[in-house]
Amino acid sequence: MEATLNSRLVVEVKSVTKTFDNRRVTALNDVSFSVPEGQLAVIIGLSGSGKSTLLRHLNGMHQPDAGNVRVLGTEVVGLSGGALRELRRNVGFVFQSFNIVGRMTCLENVLTGALGRLRGPRYGVLSYPKSLRREALEQLDRVGLGDRAFQRTDTLSGGQQQRVAIARTLMQKPKVVLADEPVASLDPEISGQVMDVLFRSCVEDSITVLCSLHQVDLALGWANRLIGLRDGEVVLDSPVDTGIDESTVMEVYRRLDPTGQKTEEYRPSMAS
Amino acid sequence: MWIVGISFVSIALYSIYDIGVNPLTLYFERDDIGNLLGRMWPPTIEEFGPIWNSVLDTFFMAFVGTTIAVIVAVPLGFLAASNIVKFAPLRWVARGIIVFTRAIPDLVFALIFVRVYSIGVLPGVLAIGLHAVGMLGKLFADSIEQIQRAPREGVVATGASRSQELAAGVLPQIIPSFIAAALYRLDINFRSATLLGLVGAGGIGLQIRAYQGALRYPELLGVTLLIIVLIVVVEVVSTNVRSTILGHNRTSVSFLQKLKGGPSAADFRVDTGPRHVDITTASLTPPWTKERVTMYSFGLVSIVMLYLSFSLTDMSVLDLLTGLPEIPQVLWKLVPRSMDWWQSMFFDDLVETVLMGFAASFLALVVAIPTGFLAARNVAPARWIYATARVFILGVRALPDLVVAVIFVAALGLGPKPGVLALAIGLYGFATKLFADSIEEVSNGPRDGVLATGSTRLQESFSGVLPQVMPSIVSNSLYLLDVSIRSSTVLGIVGGGGIGFALLQGAKLLKWEMLGGLLIIIFLIVYSIELLAGWVRKRII
């Protein structure tokens, strides 16, 4: 982090707190960190530690109870309408469940990534200009699915579907990509390939990446920075190249309850 | 729960006693019916030219009516869907229009419109269109509310605007179910279009009315048989087109792989090597897949049909466009300003209508539950019994209940008795299909469990199948009661008893307020039965 102090900060999160269920569940508790341009940061933590909630604050899908979020120099909190859409065009989001439209072909799904550049609604591949169709095919080819352009996405395997979603995100020409557990529903071998496609493309296009991951080994393979979340709090923030040791990382996954019960049940006592 | 069940059954039994029908009525009245059938034999079709023209009229009435209904129901469905419109009062208005148009039978709309637009095809088209808005609007709104949220979220996250999100994230998910619903409605609309002529709204029903009036029974039977054949044809075609559009083969496992015992790991190696294509030469237009061909030809056929609707019949686009905007004005005339229209005999008529509804649905149920088992593929004792039962049901379902009512009234005289019998026969076909379809959906596990104890087939049907289908039998029965009471309101138009006769008089004498007042009462009765049915359904399932 010291090495990049002078770079422009792409993501700045200051004292963000978020609760659900009438303040009975604290999802994020006073979280602060920032990500400089070009960094590949990975957020690790258990299910329910607040990773998804955090990422969803960065493109305005959640609003915090308290704190500030700046992305690409824009204050996200309270942003709405055209200004929010403008921000989202520059912020790619890769979802755990892919969130592509199953009945549409691969090419049309990728083309929806260009909607931000177009005016008015589009329906069907032929409603997009030819130059954009070619661009979409290029992105699809980059993720290795160029030969499947006109296949319906609900006929693809999970890994292929996520690659279509990545191509859609790249089609946006984003400055930063937020990836929320992009491989959580894929098997280990496919996971590696999908992470490879995602990070390689982002490095090629010099896109800043903030990605949440469940698996530590995958995180260590790609990230140049690790942020650990536990029960909505940052418990680890370290560059990867300085010989980070395993016990520090595993500390993120420490359960508060020795009997191994769900940590959610302990959150209210944490909050009080 | 038991109180509700017992009161339903006792009301039904009282109605049957009060009206004087029972499952054996048909047998007791065999002389009258046989006598009539004798006078009807042999069925003849004279003047084939005019009849063919009214068949075309009938079909295109249904087609244009469905088209109008779709055009109105699509925006209405969006406005009524809670995941599209956040502003609740707007949704309530949309839901209100949907509930209202669905509650008033199309025959009643036709009755009113014939007085306003004069006899012909136009009032029929408008009546069909207006009534169908209700069902289509409800189906559309429901299917919009059931779409997956995730793909929409994905499109929103790219920075798409609201209209872009609807076109790219919502539309692709709902189009197949919209088309299926419209086709299903076309099927239903064709059935009702055959009847609208009974009140003068064009189509083949005009012929039925003329033959009935002139006591030309062989021709009446001939036209009835023709209608049955046409209804079966339209249903078969619409069902097939629907399953082509809805159905898609999602599995990529080939027949050969299935022979080898399913796909092996090697078949899924597609993920390993990224395959590249030549971007500069690759085609950028979608290939003509079977799905794309189906969708395009469907669109093309619809446009041709629409063109034929106006060139083959005496409908004119101008009449239609000037007629449509008058509808709100016509409906406004129906709103009662005072209670002057009320006559004490209406109370008896309304009670009779409800009792007829109960009696008809009860009679239909008593016969339909056992035959439902025979018409279910997985329970029927033999393949040929299943096949016979299904064909029989298809035939019975194609009998328009009002035409049966016309025939029974001719045989047994005016009154609720022929009306109930005709309605019961119509409901029976519908009920058997519903029951058989839900029996075919039961899971095999519990059935195997019962068989494994050494039970007989009949015991297995009672212990393995019946408990599984009980909730759907109850909820389908409630739905039937609902349909039955709706239909019993119009039976009086052909002399089958109930409030229908008063409605007919109201329309003939242009007593708009009386007509409107009665419709409001009917609406309240039907709606409260629907609410009650919904409540019972929730308690059971």
Q: Do the bridges between strand A40-44 and strand A66-71 make them parallel or antiparallel, or are there none, so unpaired?
A: unpaired
Contact status, residue B198 vs residue B213, Cβ threshold 8 Å: no
Q: Is the dihedral of CA B3, B4, B6, B12 positive or negative?
A: positive
Q: What are phi and psi of A178, to 5 degrees?
A: -105, 125
| CA of residue B496 relative to chain centroid, distance | 21
Sign of CA dihedral B156, B158, B163, B166: negative
Size of the A and B interface in Cβ pairs below 8 Å:
138
pLDDT of B454 strictly over 90:
no
Residue B514, amino acid: M
CB contact under 8 A, B275 and A146: yes
Give the three-class secondary structure for B408: helix
Specify if B416 maps to a domain. yes
Is residue A204 predicted with pLDDT exceeding 60?
yes
B435 and B354 within one domain: yes
How high is the pLDDT of residue A166? 95
Q: Cβ B286–A93 below 8 Å, yes or no?
A: no
CA distance B102 to chain A (A): 31
Kindly report the average pLDDT of chain A as a whole number: 85
> pLDDT class for A102, splitting at 50, 70, 90?
confident
- Ordered structural domains, chain A, with CATH: 2-271 (3.40.50.300)
Q: Do B448 and B519 reside in the same domain of the chain?
A: yes
Peptide bond into B381 cis (omega under 30): no
When pLDDT is cut at 50, 70 and 90, the band that residue B247 belongs to is low
Q: What is the mean pLDDT of residues B209-217?
A: 84
**Measured distance CA(A115)–CA(B159) in Å, rounded:** 7
- The two structure tokens encoding residue B520: 């409001």
Residues B197, B297, single domain; the answer is yes
Q: What is the C-alpha to C-alpha distance for residues B79 and B463, in angstroms, rounded to an integer?
A: 46
Is B275 a domain residue? no
What is the arithmetic mean of pLDDT over A223-234? 88
Q: Which two tokens stand for residue B397?
A: 């379902």
- B402 and B473 share a domain? yes
The reply to whether B284 falls in a domain is: no
pTM of the model: 0.81
CA distance A96 to chain B (A): 10
pLDDT at A2 exceeding the cut of 60: no
Number of domains into which chain B is organized: 2
Instruction: Assess if residue B468 is contained within a domain.
Output: yes
Length of chain A in residues, anyone?
A: 272
Q: B109, B130 in Cβ contact below 8 A?
A: yes
**Measuring CA to CA, which residue among B24, B29, B9, B25 is closest to residue B359?**
B9
Do B27 and B47 share a domain, yes or no? no
Pair (B507, B377) in one structural domain = yes
- Indicate the residue of B168, B171, B271 with minimum beta-carbon distance to A157: B271
pLDDT band at A53 (very low <50, low <70, confident <90, very high): very high
| pLDDT score of A7 | 62
Under an 8 A CB cutoff, do A101 and B276 touch?
Answer: no
Boundary of a domain, candidates B301, B333, B365: B333
How far apart (Å, rounded) are the C-alpha atoms in residues A183 and A222?
13
pLDDT at B312 over 90: no
User: B138 pLDDT exceeds 50?
Assistant: yes
For residue B261, being part of any structural domain is answered with: no
Q: Which domain holds residue B173?
A: 43-247+292-333
B449 and B479 assigned to the same domain: yes
Q: Taking Cα atoms as reference points, which of B372, B487, B480, B478 lies closest to residue B419?
A: B487
B-facing residues of A in 162-191 (CB < 8 A) are: 165, 168-169, 172, 190
For B147, nearest residue in chain A (alpha carbons): A101
Mean pLDDT score, A184-196: 87
pLDDT(B271) > 50: no
Tell if the CB–CB gap between B276 and A59 is shorter than 8 Å: no
Same domain membership, residue B18 and residue B116: no
Instruction: Give the mean pLDDT of B366-375.
Output: 88
Better-predicted residue by pLDDT, A88 or B321: A88
- For residues B64 and B164, membership in a common domain is answered with yes
pLDDT of B118 reads: 82
State how far the Cα of B369 lies from the Cα of B246, in Å rounded to an integer: 30
Identity of the residue numbered A219? A
Per-residue pLDDT averaged across A11-29, rounded? 89
Q: Do A155 and B252 touch (CB under 8 A)?
A: yes
Asked whether residue B274 is domain-assigned, the answer is no
What type of residue is B395? G
Give the residue from B158, B161, B171, B294 with the most A CB atoms within 10 Å of its CB, the best one to mutate. Answer: B158
- pLDDT recorded at residue B249: 41
**CA dihedral angle for residue B463, residue B469, residue B474, residue B477, rounded to 10 degrees:** -120
Whether residue B282 lies inside any domain: the answer is no
Q: What is the pLDDT of residue B63?
A: 94
For A16, phi then psi, to 5°, come to: -85, 130
> Around B466, how many Cα atoms within 13 Å sit in the side-chain half-sphere?
9
CATH code of the domain covering residue B481: 1.10.3720.10
Q: Is A89 on the interface with B (CB under 8 A)?
A: yes
CB-CB neighbors (< 8 A) of A107 in chain B: 286
- Looking at the DSSP bridge assignments, the partners of residue A36 are A9
Classify residue B140: in a domain, yes or no.
yes
Most confident of A43-47, A237-241, A268-272, B20-24: A43-47
**B275/A123 touch (CB, cutoff 8 Å), yes or no:** no
Of residues B497, B473, B489, the one with CA closest to residue B526: B489
pLDDT tens digits for B152-201? 999 999 989 989 999 999 999 998 889 889 998 999 999 999 989 888 88
pLDDT, average across residues A200-213: 91
Same structural domain, B60 and B33: no
Between chains, do B172 and A157 touch, taking CB under 8 Å as contact? no
In 3D, which of A67, A107, A74 has the Cα closest to residue A90? A74
As a three-state string, the secondary structure of A170-233 is: HHCCCCEEEEECCCCCCCHHHHHHHHHHHHHHHHHCCCEEEEEECCHHHHHHHCCEEEEEECCE
Q: Is the pLDDT of residue B382 over 80?
A: yes
User: Cα–Cα distance between B120 and B54 in angstroms, integer?
Assistant: 11
Tokens of B170: 């919502």
* A214 pLDDT above the threshold of 90: no
Of A88, A130, A137, the CB nearest to B159: A88
Alpha-carbon distance of B514 to B335, in angstroms, equals 9
Is residue B364 domain-shared with residue B480, that is, in the same domain?
A: yes
> Do the Cβ atoms of A94 and A179 come closer than 8 Å?
yes
Q: Which range among A226-235, B69-78, B348-357, B528-537 shows the weakest confidence by mean pLDDT?
A: B528-537
Minimum CA–CA partner of B279 in chain A: A138
Q: Which residues of B24-55 are buried (b: 16+ CB within 10 A; e: fewer)?
A: ebeeebeeebeebeeebeeeeeeeeeebeebb
Secondary structure of B469-511 in HEC code, one letter for each residue:
HHHHHHHHHHHHHHHHHHHHCCHHHHCCCCCHHHHHHHHHCCC
Enter the tokens of residue B252.
């990529």
In this structure, the answer to whether residues B74 and B11 fall within a common structural domain is: no
